[in-house]
Amino acid sequence: MDTTTIETNFRSEEYFINMGPQHPATHGVLRLLLTIDGEIIKKVEPDLGYIHRSIEKMCERDTYQQIVHLTDRMDYLSSNINNEAVCLTVENALELEVPDRVKVIRTIIGELTRISSHCLWWGVMGMDVGALTTYFYGFRDRELINDIFEETCGARLTMNYNVPGGLMFDIHPNFVKRTKDFIAHFKTKLPEYDKLLTHNVIFQKRTKGIGILTKEDAISFGASGPVGRASGYSCDVRKHHPYSALDKVKFQEALKTEGDTYARYLVRIQEMWESLSIIEQLIDNIPEGEYRVATNAVIKLPKGEFYQRVETARGELGVYIISDGVKSPYRLKFRSPGFSNLSLLNHIAVGGKIGDLVATMATLDLVIPDIDR
């Protein structure tokens, strides 16, 4: 029987399926409209806005100090880096030089945030491909970072530790010790991650060659963070536009060229190692000094436009402030990494199976509040 007869006899029909907004693999309230032929995905259309809070509009009414705490609620897994982004924008606009101590502490906390976010991602990645135990191992290690944060900042997730001009208060006396303990602990656990998941033959089969994103497409789709770097696109803002103390440390940008799901996985694992090394370089020589520079009680940015790029755990976060010289920004735009990374989902998921879509989505590491700002 030739193929045409098969096709006429067994006509396959495409059908719609709603993945989400309540679905275990969409990590929040993302809704995907899937067009499927059997198990093969023909089209993925994200439907957003289930938790849109219009942070950008709220920012137009808030003062610059108040904006910072709203950014906690965007990408809640790298909330400290988001805070830092707004603070850096305001400080640059005011041409305020923050003390070295602040810069170093911000960098350490930023890298801890990145590790914590990647820990959670690793656990969830395992869960998405069906290995439920990884979730608990990832969370166990993340919990230690959360403890460090809680002791120093008072909160575990939405820290609001940065203020324009520095930090809200100095680090806790236990901070250095706890961080060192964590590094020692985590260095023994990361090889376990590899044993449990990275080298696992099933996991490799599930991820290798799946969801391939070429370098050209990565740039065109505005992919950033580990998603872009897995495609061989050097897009680490920490390297290209270093901020805080990141110009003083040595680290390697995790680059892979395959561009598949496995490469994105490996890039994040390598990033955890790099973040550990960054923290190690800084933790022993936090300079003494002020933790905060006094600013006016009401911060007014000069007229003009200010743009600051930082590297969150998910990729490049841009803060674009248009100021007309009053206490609130005229327009504030967050260029969130998740939003651009989500836009390429349709491009890389088509042709795969439902299981591939889930694995691919896990390595895009979407945080929905980051997309639905």
Pick 24 or 289: Cβ nearer another protein: 24
Strand partners for 159? none
Q: Which residues contact 152 (CB under 8 A, 6 or more apart)?
A: 109, 161, 171, 172, 175
By beta-carbon proximity to another protein, the closer residue of 7 and 307 is 307
Give the CA radius of gyration of the chain: 22
Least separation in angstroms between CB 188 and another protein? 12
Tokens of 237: 């803002």
Amino acid found at 41? I
**Nearer residue to another protein within complex by CB, 7 or 61:** 61
- Residue among 196, 186, 34 at smallest CA distance from 126: 196
Residue (5 or 115) nearer to another protein, CB? 115
Q: Give the separation between CA 350 and CA 347, rounded to whole angstroms.
A: 6
**Residue 199 Cβ, how far from another protein at the closest point, in Å?**
5
Tell me: cis bond preceding 369? Omega within 30 of 0 counts: no
Q: In the complex, what is the shortest distance from the CB of residue 269 to another protein, in angstroms, rounded to a whole number?
A: 15
Instruction: Find out whether 362 and 25 touch, Cβ atoms under 8 Å.
Output: yes
How near is the Cβ of 77 to another protein at its closest, in Å? 17
Residue 303 CB, nearest distance to another protein (Å)? 6
CB of 318 to another protein, least distance (A): 5
DSSP single-letter state for residue 38: T
The DSSP call for residue 165 is T
Asked whether the beta carbons of 255 and 270 are under 8 A apart, the reply is no
Task: Give the nearest distance from C-beta 65 to another protein in angstroms.
Answer: 6
Backbone angles phi, psi at 311, to 5 degrees: -105, 105
Using the minimum distance from each CB to another protein, give the nearer residue, 109 or 163.
163
Give whichever of 139 and 273 is closer to another protein, judged by the CB atom: 139
Question: Taking the complex as a whole, how short is the minimal distance between the CB of residue 101 and another protein, in angstroms?
Answer: 18
Instruction: Encode burial over 242-254: b for 16+ CB neighbours within 10 A, e otherwise.
Output: ebbbbeebebeeb
Pick the closer one to another protein by CB: 5 or 81: 81
Inter-CA distances, 318 with 18, 67, 82, 224, Å: 32, 15, 9, 11
From the list 60, 163, 64, 54, the residue with the least C-alpha distance to 106 is: 163
Considering the complex, state which of residue 180 and residue 333 has its C-beta at the smaller distance from another protein: 333
